Structure 1
Amino acid sequence: MPTDPIRVKQIDHLTLVVKDLERSRQFYVDVLGMQVVPRPAFSFPGLWFQAGSTLIHLILEHPESGPAFTFIPENALVSRTRHFAFEVDNALAAQARLQELGIEIIAGPKRRPDGPIQLCVFDPDQNVVELFSF
């Protein structure tokens, strides 16, 4: 008897393990403009941010979380490895702002085959963050 597949409505949140909550807060709030939102009283330190309709959950690295650092092999193209993407108003304006802040752009900007302009940066824990605009 066939059953219907589970229907995913949207991504609710993305969780990242980080080494330094304040350094990561500066990146996600001061650089990317996300808003800090209330977080339940978990037994471990962390922060939550709002990014459009998605939440970003940060957990401070601890013995039960696994490591914060994301390893990317030297020969990997960062846009083709593990990453997450945020749509922004203007990727080229984002590039200019990142350069003003001294944040290295590790890929792009370039046009994706489907049209948007994309660029990639590392967050403080070497997570690849893609910023794109149509």
Structure 2
Amino acid sequence: MKDFPTDGVELTTLLVVGDLSRSRAFYSNVLGAEVYREYGGTSCVLRFQGAWLLLVTAGGPTEDKPSVTFAPPQDQNVVSHQLTMRVPDCQGAHEVLRERGAEFLTPPHDRGGEVRCFFRNPDGHLLEISEIRR
């Protein structure tokens, strides 16, 4: 079976943000992402834990997506997208991220086979750190 759609495919997660500078600072200073490239003040590409993260500002339809509008979350309590980071030590990661400015919804919760907690980026996108216990 051939790889989809060709060899060398990499996945990029796109997040629409309200303030590019604020979001770039959050992802690089709090999470340690590496800024790879920026485009005209409207987008920033970051390398984060072996994956690509693309931050873009809001925008209307274009020729190649004529009915699509990009907008940051309108309600932080309604989630349609989340980034989850598996960590070896949830409590330790929580402490480091909190010291760097992450604001958590609650402290880590032990759910038996998993310890997890949630925080938001500056635009309200939900992020999770999760430790799997075996």
For normalisation by structure 2, the TM-score amounts to 0.71
Q: State the match for 1:132 in structure 2.
A: 130
Letter in 1 for 2:53: I
Query: Take 2:88 and 2:120, find their aligned partners in 1: how far apart are those partners?
Result: 19
Please name the residue that 1:15 is paired with.
Answer: 14
Give the corresponding residue for 2:46: 49
For this pair of structures, how many residues does the alignment match?
Answer: 122
Match of 2:116 in 1: 118
> Per the alignment, do residues 106 and 58 of structure 1 end up closer, same or farther by CA in structure 2, a change over 3 Å counting?
same
- 1:62 alignment partner in structure 2: 59
* Distance verdict in 2 for CA 1:28–1:89, change over 3 Å: farther
Q: TM-score, normalised by structure 1?
A: 0.71
CA deviation vs aligned residue, 1:82-127 (integer Å, no higher than 9, x gap): 42201234321121123324432114512345x3321110101100
Task: Name 2:104's counterpart in structure 1.
Answer: 105
**Partner residue in 1 for 2:85:** 86
Q: Distance in 1 between matches of 2:10 and 2:108?
A: 25
- The match for 1:71 is 75
1:21–1:44 CA distance, 2 compared to 1 (3 A): closer
Q: 2:118 corresponds to which letter in structure 1?
A: C
- Superposition CA RMSD, Å: 3.0
Change (3 A) 1:83 1:100: same
Task: Describe how 1:33-48 pairs up with structure 2 within 5 A.
Answer: 33-38=32-37, 45-48=42-45
* Cα distance in 1, alignment partners of residues 100 and 14 from structure 2: 25
- Contact 1:49-1:57 within 8 A present in 2 as well: yes
Structure 1 gap ranges (5+):
none
Distance 2:41 2:32 in 1: 25
Does the Cα contact within 8 Å between 1:37 and 1:49 map onto a contact in 2?
Answer: yes
Single out whichever of 43-52 and 28-37 deviates more from structure 2.
43-52
Q: Percent identity?
A: 23
Residue 70 of structure 1 and its aligned partner are, at CA, apart by 4.5
